[in-house]
C-alpha cells in the first residue's frame, strides 16, 4: 500500500500517519478538555503496552487493536474493565479522525463485489470479504482478478501485520476463490494459481517400493523393537517412537536417491539401499536442499543406515566406509543449537519481574478461578491446568511422563508426623535418559494435588481408573490436549501461550538465572545425563549479568560522588530528572 493512495486530507487537516500525529491532533479536537485528556491518555497507555514508548507506531487501528488484544489484564497491570475501557477509548480516538486515518475495513466493496459476495453464500463470503475491500481499493473488478493481485494482497497482509501467517491466508483465499469460480461459472472468474511451496516435495510413496524392500525394512524394524536374546551384540529394545524414526530415516535415503534420478526398482532389498554410497549421495541431496547446511540429523540418518547395513550382513570394509562418512559429517556439522528463536523470545520475558511473578503464581490463580467459576466444565479445566502447571514448575518433568502419571504407581502419599508428603517417582525404563527420577512435592503443591483429587478428578469420568489426568472414557488424556489447554490458559493470564515443554524451559531458566554457579543442581533436577546439555540450553549469555553488575557498581559510585558534593544545590542539580512529557518510557 503506497502512501500516495492514502494521503488524503479532510477539512484541510494534516494526514495522520503515526500515534504521535494522532496524539497531537487530539489536543486540538473540538471536545471538552476532560475528554481530550482522557483520549490522549488512552493513546499514551496504548503506546506503553504495544509500542516502543516513542509514539512511532503507524496509526493503523486494525494493527494496533490486534496487538492490544494480545495483552491480558494481568500483564497490563489493569482490571478487565479498565482494559476494556482502554480499547473503547482508542477506537473513539480514531473515530474522531475517520477521514484522516486510513483503514481498509472502512472501504465498502463496489457494487460488482457486493453482487459476488451475495451470490456465493455466507461461508465463502466470510473468506472473501477482506479481499473484496482490498480489490475495491485497487479498483479491480472480480472478472479482472489474477495472481498478481493475490500476491499484492499477501504483501499487504504482511506489511500491515493484520495476520500472523499471510501465506496461509493467501492459500485460503485461493481455495475459496477457485471454489467460487468452479461453482458459479456465470460470474466469469479466472482461477488463481496456488502459491508455490517453499520446497518441491520429494517423498517416495511406499506403494511404489519393491516388495522385497518393504519386507526387509519391516523385518529390520521388528528386530529393533524385539531383539533376540542371543544376538551377536547386546541390543536393547527400542521404543515404538524410535523405531518409527528409523523408518523415516530409511525412507528419506530412498526418496532422496529417487529424486536424484536413481530408479526405484534398483533398490530391490534393504541391503541394496543401506550402503555408504547411497547414504552419502542422499545426504548430498539434503545438503543442497537445506541451503548447503549440514544439520545434526545427518549423523542420525547415517548411523541408522549403518545399523541397517550391519543387520543385513555388510562387510567390514562397508561398515568402515560408514565410519568415515560419520567422521566427515561430524567435521562439517553446525554447532549444537541452544534455543529456537521462539523459545529464546519466551525466555527473554523472564527479565521482567512482573512476568516472573505471574508465572510462578499461575497455578494458584487458576485454582482460585476454578473455585469461583459457575461453569462446571470451565472450572474443571482451570483446576486440571492448575495442577499440570504446578507439576511442570516444581518437577520440570517431561510431557510424556506427565501424561502417564498413575495413582499408587507413580504418585504416592507418605504419612508422617508433620503431615502428608506427596512423592512422584519414575523408573528408569519410563524415562527418556534411562535415569530414575523422584520428586517430593512442596506442601503447597501437595495441597493443590489433594484438592484436585478430592473435588475435581471425580467429575471427569465415572469409569474406575488410576490415571491422574483421565479422559471421559477412563483412559489417559492425550498430551497434545493437555499442552494445548495449558497454552490457552497461559495466553489468557500471561499474554503469551506456553506449552508443557516450554514450562520446563522456563522453570529451569529461572533457577539458572538466579544461581548460575549451581548448573549441576539444575542438570540433576531435569534428569539430564550430561551437565553440558543443561549448560547449552539454559545458561544464558553472561554479558547480561555482567552489564547489570557493572551498572549497579556505576550507580553506587555515582551516589557516593553526589554525597561527597560540597553543596546541596549542586547535588540537587546533578540529581534533577529530565521533564516527563508523558510520551516516553
Q: What is the pLDDT of residues 131-157, one digit of tens each?
A: 998 888 888 999 999 999 988 888 777
Q: How many CB atoms lie within 10 A of CB 254?
A: 25
* pLDDT at site 3: 37
**Each residue of 310-345: pLDDT tens digit?**
999 999 999 999 999 999 998 887 665 566 778 888
Residue 173 · residue 128 · CB < 8 Å: yes
What percent of the chain has pLDDT above 90? Answer: 33
Write down how long the chain is. 585
71 has pLDDT over 90 = no
**Per-residue pLDDT tens digits for 518-545:** 777 777 777 777 777 666 666 665 566 6
pLDDT band for 585, please (50, 70, 90 cuts): very low
Residue of 239, 255, 562 whose CA lies nearest to 404: 239
Position 1 pLDDT exceeds 50: no
Going by pLDDT thresholds of 50, 70 and 90, the confidence category of residue 582 is very low
Is pLDDT of 425 > 80?
yes
The runs of H, that is alpha helices, within 290-360 are: 297-311, 316-332, 341-348, 353-360
pLDDT for position 578: 47
Q: What is the Cα–Cα distance from 335 to 331, expressed in whole angstroms?
A: 10
What's the pLDDT score for residue 524? 77
| pLDDT tier for residue 161 given thresholds of 50, 70 and 90 | low
pLDDT exceeds 90 at position 254: yes
Angle 376-395/500-514 helices, nearest 10 degrees?
A: 40
Stronger pLDDT, 238 or 333, i.e. the higher one: 238
Max mean pLDDT range (283-287, 415-419, 474-478) = 283-287
Model pLDDT, residue 142: 92
Tell me the C-alpha distance between 58 and 55, whole Å.
Answer: 9
- Segments in 161-275 forming alpha helices (H): 166-183, 211-225, 240-259, 270-273
What mean pLDDT do residues 19-36 have?
A: 89
Give per-residue pLDDT as tens, 109-126: 889 999 999 888 887 888
d(CA 343, CA 583): 31
Pairs from 103-106 (Cβ < 8 Å, separation ≥ 24): 103/60, 103/61, 103/62, 104/62, 104/130, 104/133, 104/134, 104/137, 104/156, 104/160, 105/61, 105/62, 105/133
Q: Which residue has the cell 512423592?
A: 423
> What per-residue confidence (pLDDT) applies to 337?
56
What are the pLDDT digits (tens) for 200-234? 788 898 899 999 999 999 999 999 998 887 766 66
CA distance 272 to 565: 85
Of residues 547 and 457, which shows the higher confidence score?
457
pLDDT at 409: 87
Q: Is pLDDT at 579 greater than 70 in this prediction?
A: no
pLDDT surpasses 50 at 553: yes
- Count CA atoms within 13 Å of residue 86 on its CB side: 25
Which of helix, strand or coil describes residue 134?
helix
Cα 312 to Cα 183: distance, rounded to the nearest angstrom = 55
Which span out of 37-41, 332-336, 424-428 was modeled with the highest average pLDDT? 37-41
pLDDT at 359: 92
* Best CA proximity match to 460, nearest among 479, 477, 485, 448: 477
Does 514 have pLDDT greater than 80? no
Mean pLDDT of all residues belonging to the chain: 83
Q: What is the mean pLDDT of the segment spanning 476-492?
A: 89
Residues 253, 273: contact at Cβ < 8 Å? yes
Q: Report how far apart, in Å, the C-alpha atoms of 268 and of each of 85, 215, 222 are.
A: 70, 10, 19
DSSP character string of 84-131 = HHHHHHHHHHHHTTTTTS--GGGPPPPHHHHHHHHHH-HHHHHHHHHH
Q: Which pLDDT value is given to residue 273?
A: 95
How far is the CA of 319 from the CAs of 261, 269, 283, 323, in angstroms? 25, 18, 17, 6
pLDDT of residue 574: 53
Span of 160-169, 246-255, 394-403, 517-526 with lowest mean pLDDT:
160-169
pLDDT at 160: 57
Amino acid at each position: 500500500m503506497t502512501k500516495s493512495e492514502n494521503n488524503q486530507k479532510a477539512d484541510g487537516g494534516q494526514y495522520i500517519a503515526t500515534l504521535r500525529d494522532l496524539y497531537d491532533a487530539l489536543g486540538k479536537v473540538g471536545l471538552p478538555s476532560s475528554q481530550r485528556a482522557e483520549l490522549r491518555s488512552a493513546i499514551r497507555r496504548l503506546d506503553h503496552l504495544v509500542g516502543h514508548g516513542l509514539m512511532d507506531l503507524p496509526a493503523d487501528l486494525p494493527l494496533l487493536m490486534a496487538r492490544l488484544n494480545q495483552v491480558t489484564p494481568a500483564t497490563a497491570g489493569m482490571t478487565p474493565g479498565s482494559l476494556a475501557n482502554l480499547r473503547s477509548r482508542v477506537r473513539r480516538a480514531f473515530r474522531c479522525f475517520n477521514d484522516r486515518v486510513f483503514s481498509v475495513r472502512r472501504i465498502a466493496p463496489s457494487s460488482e463485489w457486493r453482487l459476488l459476495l451475495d451470490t456465493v453464500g455466507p461461508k465463502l463470503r466470510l473468506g472473501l470479504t477482506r479481499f473484496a475491500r482490498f480489490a475495491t481499493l485497487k479498483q479491480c473488478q472480480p472478472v479482472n482478478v489474477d495472481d498478481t493481485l493475490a500476491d499484492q494482497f499477501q504483501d499487504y497482509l504482511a506489511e500491515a501485520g493484520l495476520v500472523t501467517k499471510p501465506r496461509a491466508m493467501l492459500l485460503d483465499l485461493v481455495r475459496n476463490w477457485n471454489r467460487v469460480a468452479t461453482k458459479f461459472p456465470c460470474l466469469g472468474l479466472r482461477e488463481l494459481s496456488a502459491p508455490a511451496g517453499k520446497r518441491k516435495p520429494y517423498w517416495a510413496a511406499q506403494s511404489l517400493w519393491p516388495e522385497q524392500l518393504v519386507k526387509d525394512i519391516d523385518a529390520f524394524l521388528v528386530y529393533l523393537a524385539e531383539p533376540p536374546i542371543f544376538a551377536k551384540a547386546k541390543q536393547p529394545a527400542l521404543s515404538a517412537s524410535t523405531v518409527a524414526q528409523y523408518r523415516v530415516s530409511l525412507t528419506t535415503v530412498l526418496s532422496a536417491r529417487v529424486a536424484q534420478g536413481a530408479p526405484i526398482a534398483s533398490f530391490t532389498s534393504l541391503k541394496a539401499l543401506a550402503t555408504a554410497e547411497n547414504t552419502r549421495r542422499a545426504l548430498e541431496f539434503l545438503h543442497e536442499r537445506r541451503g548447503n547446511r549440514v544439520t545434526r540429523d545427518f549423523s542420525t540418518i547415517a548411523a541408522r543406515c549403518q545399523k541397517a547395513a550391519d543387520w543385513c550382513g555388510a562387510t567390514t570394509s562397508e561398515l568402515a566406509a560408514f565410519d568415515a562418512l560419520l567422521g566427515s559429517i561430524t567435521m562439517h556439522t553446525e554447532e549444537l543449537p541452544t534455543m529456537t528463536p521462539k523459545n529464546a523470545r519466551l525466555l527473554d520475558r523472564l527479565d521482567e519481574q512482573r512476568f516472573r511473578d505471574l508465572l510462578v503464581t499461575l497455578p494458584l490463580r487458576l485454582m482460585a478461578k476454578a473455585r469461583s467459576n459457575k461453569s462446571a466444565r470451565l472450572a474443571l479445566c482451570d483446576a486440571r491446568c492448575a495442577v499440570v502447571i504446578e507439576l511442570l514448575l516444581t518437577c520440570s518433568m517431561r510431557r510424556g511422563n506427565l501424561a502417564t502419571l498413575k495413582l499408587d504407581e507413580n504418585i504416592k502419599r507418605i504419612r508422617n508426623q508433620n503431615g502428608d508428603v506427596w512423592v512422584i517417582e519414575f523408573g528408569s525404563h519410563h524415562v527418556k535418559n534411562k535415569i530414575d527420577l523422584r520428586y517430593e512435592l512442596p506442601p503447597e503443591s501437595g495441597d493443590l494435588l489433594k484438592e484436585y483429587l478430592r473435588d475435581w478428578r471425580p467429575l471427569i469420568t465415572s469409569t474406575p481408573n488410576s490415571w491422574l489426568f483421565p479422559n471421559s472414557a477412563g483412559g489417559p488424556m492425550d498430551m497434545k490436549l493437555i499442552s494445548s489447554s495449558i497454552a490457552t490458559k497461559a495466553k489468557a493470564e500471561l499474554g503469551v501461550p506456553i506449552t508443557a515443554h516450554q514450562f520446563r524451559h522456563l522453570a529451569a531458566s529461572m533457577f539458572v538465572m538466579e544461581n548460575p554457579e549451581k548448573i549441576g543442581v539444575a542438570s540433576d533436577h531435569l534428569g539430564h545425563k550430561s551437565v553440558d546439555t543443561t549448560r547449552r540450553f539454559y545458561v544464558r549469555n553472561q554479558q547480561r549479568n555482567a552489564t547489570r553488575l557493572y551498572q549497579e557498581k556505576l550507580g553506587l559510585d555515582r551516589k557516593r560522588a553526589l554525597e561527597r558534593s560540597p553543596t546541596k544545590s549542586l547535588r540537587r542539580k546533578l540529581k534533577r530528572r529530565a521533564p516527563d512529557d508523558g510520551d516516553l518510557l
